[in-house]
Amino acid sequence: MNKPRLFAIIHNPNWLPLVIISMALLFVTGVSLACNAPADSSDTKTTTEMDGNQALKETQVALNLEATQIALQSGLPESQTQTAQAATQITIEDQATLNAQIATQAAQPTDSPPPTNTVEVPVSEPPAAQPTTEPSAVAQPSDIDALIQDSKILLFENVTKIPLPRYIKQALDNLGLSRNYVDTKDAIGTFKAELLSGTDWDLVLVGVEARSSIEGEFFDYFNEQVNKGTGLVLEIWDLDEIAGAKATSFLSSCGVKVQSDWYDPPLTARSIWWLYGESPVFHEPNEGMSLVNYNPYWAGDAGDLLKISNGSDAVMLAGTYAQEKNSYGVLASCHENRVIIQTYSSHDYRQDDVVRLWENFIYNTLQAHFEYEAR
């Protein structure tokens, strides 16, 4: 049987060096590929490079020994053996150089791509919501003054035939409102006609001081005006004598009731005291009024005493006993200050104090009326 061709080539002295070199190249290439495998970090690359060089050196030594042994066994001359070793050495050195270049290139930092200039497109945000300016729910003082100067007022004052100075008319004129009111004087029929005329009155002023009275039907008319928002100042001395549900209904809507008749009080017991002194009724537009001092004009019945009803929001402004805040009253406010009820007689007190106090009544009830309408 013939020997295999590879075996014959290996034992052929002329081909042996070439075989050794080829084997060396194959081995070195395998080691090189293993050494140049990619790593995850620079430290790993450096370690791989050192391991690859060390492996190449060890391979060199092993191949030299193997080539020498093969040469001796095959009887090759020493010169051919040295030639094979030199060729192996050259191949290893070339591979080592290649490995070093590869390692150097791997160690060099990779050029990063130039940063992309990101153009930020401004996002148009919706404009912030501006707080809306709410119209004032309550008329301001400057507006109030203008409204008062343009107000429509109905006046009934029944002392013209006595005759007595007309304190209410004087108060209106002092406030510069002489062109703003319809003066019915003591004509009760005319007064009724004006109440029912459909006119949108801002304020109704009623002075029932002469010792005559008005019928219960007028309290219905007063209720109608108040329910529309009209201001009302009522001076009346004989509420206790006005019988019927109409007067009672009017007083109930205000939150007050008649406590008793204030009949013929001693001359030393007619002083009236402020019970709610911080009320603007005593401060706007006038200050410093007092009803402690008196000069009675009317004998006998001085008026009526009022009491605040349970659960009422009415305010007792003045009374005959300073310590009694909800009873023995002669001046009350209700319907959010749009209504003032007075049960003493104006001409029993000093004119200057009474007129200036009526100016305050007029001013404050008109203000409350316009504030009510502005809501």
- State yes or no: cis peptide before 163, omega within 30 of 0: yes
Instruction: Determine the straight-line distance between the first and last CA of the chain, rounded to whole angstroms.
Output: 128
Tokens 């190449």, located at residue: 56
Give dist(CA 280, CA 282) in Å, integer.
Answer: 5
Q: What is the dihedral of CA 318, 322, 323, 327, to 10 degrees?
A: -40
- pLDDT for 117: 47
- At 26 the three-state DSSP class reads helix
Q: Per-residue pLDDT tens for 45-97? A: 444 445 555 554 555 544 444 544 544 444 444 444 454 444 445 444 544 45
What does pTM read for this prediction? 0.65
- pLDDT for 18: 55
- pLDDT for 172: 99
Give dist(CA 88, CA 16) in Å, integer.
Answer: 13
Amino acid occupying residue 245 = A
Q: Per-residue pLDDT tens for 340-370? A: 999 999 999 999 999 999 999 999 999 999 9
Q: Is 362 within 8 Å of 205 (Cβ atoms)?
A: yes
Q: Of 268, 263, 275, 271, whose CA–CA distance to 329 is shortest?
A: 275
- pLDDT for 61: 45
The residues of the chain scoring below 50 in pLDDT are: 1-4, 6-7, 9-10, 28, 31, 35, 37-49, 56, 61-65, 67-68, 70-81, 83-88, 90-92, 94-96, 98, 102-104, 106-124
Q: What are phi and psi of 170, to 5 degrees?
A: -65, -40
Q: Is 18 within 8 Å of 80 (Cβ atoms)?
A: no
Q: Of 243, 166, 228, whose CA–CA distance to 198 is shortest?
A: 228
- pLDDT for 16: 55
- How many residues appear in the chain? 375
- pLDDT for 268: 87
Q: Of 59, 50, 69, 58, whose CA–CA distance to 27 is shortest?
A: 59
Q: Is 202 within 8 Å of 230 (Cβ atoms)?
A: yes
Residue 213 burial (CB count, 10 A): 16
Domain extent listing, the chain: 12-106, 141-374
CATH code of 141-374, in short, is: 3.40.50.880
Amino acid occupying residue 213 = S
Extended strands (E) in the chain: 153-157, 181-183, 203-208, 231-236, 256-263, 273-274, 301-308, 315-319, 329-334, 339-342
CA distances from 215 to 157, 172, 201, 239, 261 (A): 15, 26, 21, 11, 18
Q: Which residues contact 18 (CB under 8 A, 6 or more apart)?
A: none
Element (H, E) at 28: helix 16-35
- pLDDT for 26: 60
- Give me 56's structure tokens: 């190449």
- pLDDT for 336: 97
- pLDDT for 346: 98
Q: Which residues contact 264 (CB under 8 A, 6 or more apart)?
A: 299, 300, 301, 302
Domain boundaries 12-106, CATH class: mainly alpha
Residue 22 burial (CB count, 10 A): 13
- pLDDT for 332: 99
